[in-house]
Structure 1
Amino acid sequence: MQKIFLVLCTVLCITSAYAQNSFKILIKSEETKSVLPGATVSIAGRTITSGANQLGLVSIDNVPAGKQVIKINHVGYKEKILIVDFPANQQHPLEVFLEAAESELEEVIISSTRTSRTIQNTPTRVETIELEEIDEKSNMRPANVSMILHESTGISVQQTSATSGNASIRIQGLDGRYTQLLKDGYASFGNFANGLSILEIPPLDLSQVEIIKGPASTLYGAGAIAGVVNFISRTPREKGDYNFIVNQSNVGQTNIGGFAMKRNDKIGYSLLALSNFQKPYDVDKDDFTELPKSKDFTIHPKLFIYPNEKTTLIIGNALTKSDRTGGDIFLIKDGADKNHTYFESNKSIRNTSTLNLSLKSNEKDLFRVKTSFNYFNRSIDIPDYSFKGANYNVYTDISYLKNLNNQSLIFGANLVYDNFKEDNPSSLAKNFNTKTAGLYFQQTWDATEKLKLESGIRTDLTHYYNNFYSNTDFFVLPRVSALYKFNNKWSSRIGGGLGYKTPTLFTEQTETFQYQNLLPLKDVASEKSYGGTADVNYKTTIGEDWIISLNQMFFYTRISNSTILLQDANLNFYFTNTVQPVNSTGFETNAKFIFKEDFKLFAGYTYTNAKAKYLPVIEDIRLLPKNRLNLALLYEKEKNFKFGLEGYFTDRQYLYNNFHTPSYWEFGFMAEKVFGKVAVFINAENFTDTRQSRYKSVVNGAHNNPTFDDIWTHTEGRTFNAGIKLKL
């Protein structure tokens, strides 16, 4: 009996010793001294693992006696290793500070919602394309941002001309006129100026691209029914940044450009300059260009003035000049003769002057005045027809951001004046004017640590008119968004609002026939919309090597009072409103897998079911695939080399003649090698040579009077390019 008692005492003592071996760690960022929820703590060689709570606190229990190796990990931070001799006498949690990993990207700050919050704490669903990806896509197409957007989930770049390559942006399957393009928050690409917009925005000076999908008129007024794409420029730092690029492709395109920026205490600057040259390119030997002969030039200087710590004044002027001629390749190379007469010429000048004044009333509050003047002049010429005009746009926005303990309040007002004036007008001139005055208010409220709400309302008074009619509308546009963080791995966003679009003649359809036989607007009212998005996010780490991020988003948009294009008995085109709505529903699935920070796999799937009830027989929106899949695999050693392989699947689409296109795959490859301050890159875009002329000739009829099929995939085929980048 005595022996049994001694054995029980021994067991109890051992158990007690183990139970006493608990340890608490408080994990913080070395840089910000803030707590790091979600950090993991593990005992080397054992299965004991714990995660930090919302306060950054970890408690590990039942640790065996003796020296133990404790490993602390958090995404974006270097691993921390502690050696602790247990049992340890601990009265307070041990504070441990983690150092940011060298490869960690800067924290993503969102400016499109005007609150300048981090993306993790913004209730409105905002997608970002960050500097690293912009840099990769710039290698593929330094001339413009079309490649950046084309390969994003839920966004497509729709080519509108077989010979000139003009294009527009579609979000969630809706026509390009429903997407509002911004550059640093300035709306300078609407109406007539939208025709060549994405072809005239270089990516070299961009720090990130922010995308809000679904009705966003509460934020930016008319035109944001499908969403907003905001191109954010880089701002100068004390350490100068000087980048240069030279690129050459097999299709005859040459790009030469550079971007420089630097600042000191009182003044700074940035300068973008880019020239693009394209030789006429006819890949299918049908004597018509797939890529037009073109030359364009962009120069964009900015001056940053810092009178004191609380004041910033930014003055900029962006000038782009473009000359594009497509059509019969013999005419372009040798001049017209009786057998070769068809051409399409686009000449444009775009000049945007901007001023941005920011005043911090204290550390938290901000008063801002932004104004811009945009001038866009374009001429379109084809045989026996010419269309010329100028678009003037003035935009002014005044806002005040008030930050309280747990909420941000924004009060603002803006004025927009848009005027299109046709050159050499007739009695049926397409002149049109729009004047809009708006007031808006937005509240972002951190209701709890887990729940964040954002609500806003805008009132717009808009007056639009020409020589044939005049109309005034008053819109009240509410919007609400919510972010709920279930834990450090799961979160969800839901939001919705109203939108509207004032009438315009300049759409994807009218662009295809160069606005020929198009009557001026008459008795056409604004389109209205409502809709929203909802998503679920999951992010986790597996061991020390894997980071997994998943996002599932659902969307719905309904447009009423839609404008539709019809043709009268005299074969003239005209717009009118219809009571039949347009509905766009669907979902997007995004997945990101990172292994040891070197291997990155991205997968995105989009299902879009967009229907126009006014269409006879087949209601599906034309040139819209219901299913689209994006895949990209990247292997990178930072500041050394990177390789990438991409694959894209596009489902069948309905053409305007009600025929179906085939589905197709396209693949791309990229590689870059860094030698100190010099990087050499090569790309093979669409190297399997998917192109429309492999299925059917795009050009029909005689050389002197051709007609063109709808464009539903690549026309130029495979593209190889190589270049050199210099970063100082």
Structure 2
Amino acid sequence: MKRIFMLLYFVLIVQGVSAQNTFRAKVINDQTKAVLNGATVTIPDLNIVSSADTSGLIVIHNIPDGKFEIEITYLGFAKSEHVYSFPLQDPRKILLISLGSASGELAEVTVQTTRANQNIRDIPTRIEALPLEELDEKSTMRPGDIKMLLGESTGIHVQQTSAVSGNANFRIQGLDSRYTQLLQDGMPLYAGFSGNLSLLQISPLDLRQVEFIKGSSSTLYGGGAIAGLINLISKVPEKDPELTFLLNGTSAKGADASGYYSQKWKHIGTTIFGSYNYNGAFDPANTGLSAIPQTKRFTINPKVFLYLDKNNSAWFGLNATAEDRLGGDMRVINGNADNLHQYFELNKTYRFSTQLSITHKINEESKINFKNTVGYFDRTLGGPGFDFKGRQLSSFNELNYVRNGEKASWVLGANLITDHFTAKPPQNNLSYSQTTAGVFAQNIYKANKWFSLESGLRLDGNSPAPSRPSSGIFVLPRINALFKITDHLSSRLGGGLGYKMPTLFNDESERDGYQYIEPLKIGNTQAEQSFGLNGDLNYRAPLGDEAFVSVNQLFFSTRVNRPLILQNNILLNAPGYLSTQGAETNVKLVMDELVFYLGYTYTDTRTHFDGMSMRQTLTPKNQLSFDATYEIEGSFRFGAESFYTSRQLLSDGTTGRGFVTFGLLVQKMFKHLDIFVNAENLTDQRQTKWGSIYTGSLADPKFKDIYAPLDGIVVNAGIRIKLLDK
């Protein structure tokens, strides 16, 4: 009998041990497939809480038999909730659990601008990224260009340079547009002369991400990135084909029609984007001058992607844009010119470029990349009794080696940039050629889980060379540090040197239409050189299960020595320096389907010439933006936004008034159709309401600085048709 009791006791022990199960799972991002180390797993009924290790692996032992709900959460991602029956069918199998991005949150984003293709949270350089979800919203607000997309970003100010043609440029942290590099897929398609009108000729529908680096970035891509850089990342073909058409009309006599197609097969893929944009001349104030010019633009961007094998891939693309833009006296535009009505501004442009990218994967950690672009840009700028005609032929070549190790990541490379501008008679003496050869090295070192250091060094040689002290040779160091202080608090601190070669094309000469400008003598002109610092604090934390808050506070300071200015139609180095410093504050609160965003920028930009300090003109000290969005994913979106721009010093010594604009967006989404209505500037803030924008006669107007909108209230509505959709 004793032996029977012992046998029963042993059987019970074995059964009890066998009832203790193990749960194994790996947590990844459903889009990038990157592991989500630190993801939290909870079994509420058992009061068990654990987290994923550095490889994203979750292991929980001693789970009894039965059915239990297991919750997996990660900041910025939607919660995963599943019921599992224990024992599992295959107890040794590691389950793969994918988490999708939470609504309204910029989660695991891989950035390309630093070439290392790493997660935005792990890079010491401060990078801001607008993902596809936000670009989708912007493409319905202004489908024809990226002017609004940039203008609504904290720290970026869009400045209109023409009162009648709508020409505009943008300033980062108070510095002129010539100090910012605008890239497409990491290539400078919009440099020099071809940068003119670029804001107005790029559609957001063809983009899947936009990346901003504010502050000195010349070490990354060479001269011209003193204020920062903007990288426009194009869409690529995905597993599922896509065919989308967008039709849009505006109350300001505008119409847009665009289409996008992409498909990926086993060894080949393609994307094709095309658009036609039209706007009739629009004069809401009845001044007799166009606030929006008559515009006709056609764009086509086809690309072919090759997936040769698992280690080799390439893509090739073409970009072509043709545009006619006519602004000025409304009677001239309508063909009724006479002795009194004869003023006009004509911009006729043709833009064509090729892009080539080849990637060879050496192993899981290393690869070699080659990039090339060749660009052709032709522009005619005309007015009464004056024409400025020129064409630019430019090229960019880069070869780089990338290695992403567990502790250290390296990027080593070299590039060659050529820029050849030919001005047509009678301004043919403005022609020039410039060649830049550079080598660079970048390193990201992850010392431990809380500290990473990114350093870089570039050596550039320019020909023809500017005046001493540089003589065309520039050594550009750069360093940035990332401190992950806690799970919710991090900080970045960095700085670097920058430079900008002398060029004809800047905000002042563009505003004056190049009418009487003297040829630039590079050998007698010094390059502009800079030093910049920036630092930020970033706090991110959940507020319960369905909400989180994100706060970022940035401080910046940049000094540009001997900046190039236009004086008596001559471009020369100013006797002193330009400085800008300030702060940006960004607060984002996400509560399930409701998202609030608050952005504030303080900018103090001054010139220090001949011992005198003066505020820079057309640079608001204070800018404030507020945005509220309610969205049911895939069904409905409602947004409201407001912007405040403070008073600005004008070039005639007066001060422009501050103003507030307000906008609304309503969008209804169906399976294959989106319907949207958007209204901008509902407060009808117009500079023409506060006085005349020109002096002299209508036949020969002398325009004042444009610091506020001219087009007033503009409502647009349209549909997006998704015949093939993921």
Are 2:27 and 2:39, in contact at CA under 8 Å, matched by a contact in 1? Answer: no
Equivalent position amino acid for 2:464 in 1: Y
Partner residue of 1:592 out of 583, 588, 591 = 588
Are 2:575 and 2:610, in contact at CA under 8 Å, matched by a contact in 1? Answer: no
State the Cα distance separating 1:25 from its structure 2 match.
9.2
Match of 1:100 in 2: 99
State the Cα distance separating 1:612 from its structure 2 match.
1.0
Are 2:288 and 2:330, in contact at CA under 8 Å, matched by a contact in 1? Answer: yes
Match of 1:495 in 2: 494
Are 2:26 and 2:57, in contact at CA under 8 Å, matched by a contact in 1? Answer: no
Pair 1:721 & 2:716 matched: yes
State the Cα distance separating 1:407 from its structure 2 match.
1.3
Match of 2:619 in 1: 624
Match of 1:88 in 2: none
Match of 2:436 in 1: 436
Match of 1:318 in 2: 319
Are 1:266 and 1:307, in contact at CA under 8 Å, matched by a contact in 2? Answer: yes
Match of 2:375 in 1: 374
Match of 2:337 in 1: 336
Matches within 5 A, 1:232-631: 232-425=233-426, 429-464=429-464, 472-522=471-521, 523-567=524-568, 573-596=569-592, 598-614=593-609, 619-631=614-626
Pair 1:143 & 2:144 matched: yes
Pair 1:694 & 2:689 matched: yes
Are 1:463 and 1:471, in contact at CA under 8 Å, matched by a contact in 2? Answer: no
Distance 2:613 2:655 in 1: 11
Q: Residues 496-545 of structure 1: CA distance to partner in whole angstroms, max 9, x if unpaired?
A: 11100000111111111101111111221210001121111111111112
Q: What secondary structure does 1:619 align onto?
A: strand
Are 1:618 and 1:658, in contact at CA under 8 Å, matched by a contact in 2? Answer: no
Match of 1:646 in 2: 641
Are 2:397 and 2:415, in contact at CA under 8 Å, matched by a contact in 1? Answer: yes
TM-score, normalisation: structure 2: 0.89
State the Cα distance separating 1:29 from its structure 2 match.
1.1
Equivalent position amino acid for 1:128 in 2: A
Equivalent position amino acid for 1:625 in 2: P
Are 1:356 and 1:371, in contact at CA under 8 Å, matched by a contact in 2? Answer: yes
Q: What secondary structure does 1:484 align onto?
A: strand
Are 1:160 and 1:511, in contact at CA under 8 Å, matched by a contact in 2? Answer: yes
Match of 1:29 in 2: 27
Listed as ranges, the gaps of 5+ residues in structure 2 are: 1-20, 61-66
Matches within 5 A, 1:664-675: 664-675=659-670
Distance 2:411 2:101 in 1: 36
Distance 1:193 1:505 in 2: 12
Equivalent position amino acid for 2:679 in 1: A
Equivalent position amino acid for 1:629 in 2: L
Are 1:464 and 1:471, in contact at CA under 8 Å, matched by a contact in 2? Answer: no
Are 2:345 and 2:382, in contact at CA under 8 Å, matched by a contact in 1? Answer: yes
Q: What secondary structure does 1:581 align onto?
A: strand
Equivalent position amino acid for 1:120 in 2: R
Are 1:41 and 1:58, in contact at CA under 8 Å, matched by a contact in 2? Answer: no
Q: Residues 3-59 of structure 1: CA distance to partner in whole angstroms, max 9, x if unpaired?
A: xxxxxxxxxxxxxxxxxxxx9998851666946426375858x9x997858768999
Match of 1:4 in 2: none
CA-atom RMSD, angstroms?
3.0
Q: What secondary structure does 1:29 align onto?
A: strand
Match of 1:658 in 2: 653
Equivalent position amino acid for 1:451 in 2: F
State the Cα distance separating 1:197 from its structure 2 match.
1.2
State the Cα distance separating 1:374 from its structure 2 match.
0.6
Equivalent position amino acid for 2:573 in 1: N
Distance 2:686 2:191 in 1: 30
Q: Residues 401-443 of structure 1: CA distance to partner in whole angstroms, max 9, x if unpaired?
A: 12333211111001111111110145x7111221111011111
Are 2:283 and 2:289, in contact at CA under 8 Å, matched by a contact in 1? Answer: yes
State the Cα distance separating 1:465 from its structure 2 match.
6.8
Q: What secondary structure does 2:455 align onto?
A: strand
Are 1:654 and 1:660, in contact at CA under 8 Å, matched by a contact in 2? Answer: yes
Distance 2:99 2:468 in 1: 61
Listed as ranges, the gaps of 5+ residues in structure 1 are: 1-22, 61-66, 86-91, 568-572
Q: Are residues 470 and 333 of structure 1, via their aligned partners in 2, closer, same or farther at CA, if it must alter by over 3 Å?
A: farther
Q: What secondary structure does 1:509 align onto?
A: helix
Q: Residues 167-221 of structure 1: CA distance to partner in whole angstroms, max 9, x if unpaired?
A: 1111000001001000111112122111111111111110000011111010000
Equivalent position amino acid for 2:385 in 1: D
Q: Residues 443-477 of structure 1: CA distance to partner in whole angstroms, max 9, x if unpaired?
A: 111111221111110000011379x9999410000
Distance 2:668 2:721 in 1: 12
Q: Are residues 473 and 663 of structure 1, via their aligned partners in 2, closer, same or farther at CA, if it must alter by over 3 Å?
A: same
Distance 1:83 1:240 in 2: 34
- State the identity %: 37
Are 2:101 and 2:107, in contact at CA under 8 Å, matched by a contact in 1? Answer: no
Are 1:77 and 1:99, in contact at CA under 8 Å, matched by a contact in 2? Answer: no
Distance 1:186 1:294 in 2: 27
Q: Are residues 413 and 95 of structure 1, via their aligned partners in 2, closer, same or farther at CA, if it must alter by over 3 Å?
A: closer
Equivalent position amino acid for 2:27 in 1: S
Q: What secondary structure does 2:649 align onto?
A: coil
Are 1:27 and 1:39, in contact at CA under 8 Å, matched by a contact in 2? Answer: no
Are 2:238 and 2:262, in contact at CA under 8 Å, matched by a contact in 1? Answer: yes
Q: Out of 116-125 and 696-705, give the one that drifted further.
A: 696-705
Matches within 5 A, 1:10-89: 28-29=26-27, 34=35, 36-37=37-38, 39=40, 41=42, 52=51, 73-75=73-75, 76-80=77-81
Are 1:611 and 1:621, in contact at CA under 8 Å, matched by a contact in 2? Answer: yes
Equivalent position amino acid for 1:646 in 2: E
Are 2:547 and 2:590, in contact at CA under 8 Å, matched by a contact in 1? Answer: yes
Q: Residues 57-80 of structure 1: CA distance to partner in whole angstroms, max 9, x if unpaired?
A: 9999xxxxxx99886533313243
Are 1:293 and 1:326, in contact at CA under 8 Å, matched by a contact in 2? Answer: yes
Q: Are residues 460 and 70 of structure 1, via their aligned partners in 2, closer, same or farther at CA, if it must alter by over 3 Å?
A: closer
Are 1:37 and 1:488, in contact at CA under 8 Å, matched by a contact in 2? Answer: no
State the Cα distance separating 1:326 from its structure 2 match.
0.3
Distance 1:682 1:488 in 2: 40
Equivalent position amino acid for 2:447 in 1: A
Q: Are residues 59 and 179 of structure 1, via their aligned partners in 2, closer, same or farther at CA, if it must alter by over 3 Å?
A: same
Distance 1:396 1:71 in 2: 49
State the Cα distance separating 1:382 from its structure 2 match.
0.5
Q: Are residues 365 and 97 of structure 1, via their aligned partners in 2, closer, same or farther at CA, if it must alter by over 3 Å?
A: closer
Distance 1:300 1:293 in 2: 24
Distance 1:669 1:312 in 2: 43
Q: Are residues 96 and 157 of structure 1, via their aligned partners in 2, closer, same or farther at CA, if it must alter by over 3 Å?
A: same
Distance 2:57 2:263 in 1: 41
Q: What secondary structure does 1:613 align onto?
A: strand
Q: Are residues 338 and 433 of structure 1, via their aligned partners in 2, closer, same or farther at CA, if it must alter by over 3 Å?
A: same
Are 2:80 and 2:99, in contact at CA under 8 Å, matched by a contact in 1? Answer: no
Distance 1:671 1:394 in 2: 43
Q: What secondary structure does 2:656 align onto?
A: coil
Match of 2:181 in 1: 180
Partner residue of 1:635 out of 630, 634, 659 = 630
Distance 1:397 1:57 in 2: 38
Distance 1:33 1:388 in 2: 50
Match of 1:7 in 2: none
State the Cα distance separating 1:368 from its structure 2 match.
1.1
Q: Are residues 698 and 302 of structure 1, via their aligned partners in 2, closer, same or farther at CA, if it must alter by over 3 Å?
A: same
Distance 1:252 1:70 in 2: 56
Q: What secondary structure does 2:263 align onto?
A: strand
